[in-house]
């Protein structure tokens, strides 16, 4: 599964990416996750992604990002604040699964 992680500059989400990946591996799911900044969303959505997850600190930009994802029929959801840490793997994975199903 290909997951796009969006935060302000693509830095902080890169840290959270590993938490999600290792939780997914535990559940036998292999993920490709890319962390990007919010200004790169439109460009990245030109390639095929299965799901877009948006970091909590840019929730004021969520509607705009969701619209861009909707146009490409890619499910898009917000990451819960308490999951946005290197320890947030389980909640992140749960959020991801809800988004995909």
Binding site for another protein (CB under 8 A): 7-8, 11-12, 15-16, 39, 55-61, 64, 81-88
CB nearer another protein, residue 10 or residue 75: 10
In 3D, which of 31, 40, 30, 51 has the Cα closest to residue 10? 40
- Taking the complex as a whole, the smallest distance from the CB of residue 70 to another protein amounts, in Å, to 16
CB nearer another protein, residue 9 or residue 50: 9
Structure tokens at 64: 């705009």
CB nearer another protein, residue 1 or residue 64: 64
Structure tokens at 54: 């948006």
- Taking the complex as a whole, the smallest distance from the CB of residue 64 to another protein amounts, in Å, to 7
- Taking the complex as a whole, the smallest distance from the CB of residue 101 to another protein amounts, in Å, to 25
Contact, 86 vs 18, CB < 8 A?
yes
Contact, 38 vs 15, CB < 8 A?
no
CB nearer another protein, residue 11 or residue 100: 11
CA atoms within 13 A on the CB side of 34: 16
β-bridge partners, 53: 5, 77
């Amino acid at each position: 599964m290909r997951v796009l992680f969006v935060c302000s500059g693509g830095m902080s989400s890169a840290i959270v990416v590993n938490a999600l990946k290792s939780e997914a591996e535990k559940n036998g799911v292999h993920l490709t996750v890319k962390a990007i900044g919010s200004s790169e969303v439109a460009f990245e959505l030109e390639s095929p992604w299965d799901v877009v997850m948006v970091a909590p600190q840019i929730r004021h930009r969520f509607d705009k990002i969701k619209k861009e994802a909707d146009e490409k029929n890619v499910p898009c959801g917000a990451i819960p604040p308490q999951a946005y840490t290197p320890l947030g793997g389980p909640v992140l994975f749960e959020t991801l699964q809800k988004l995909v199903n």
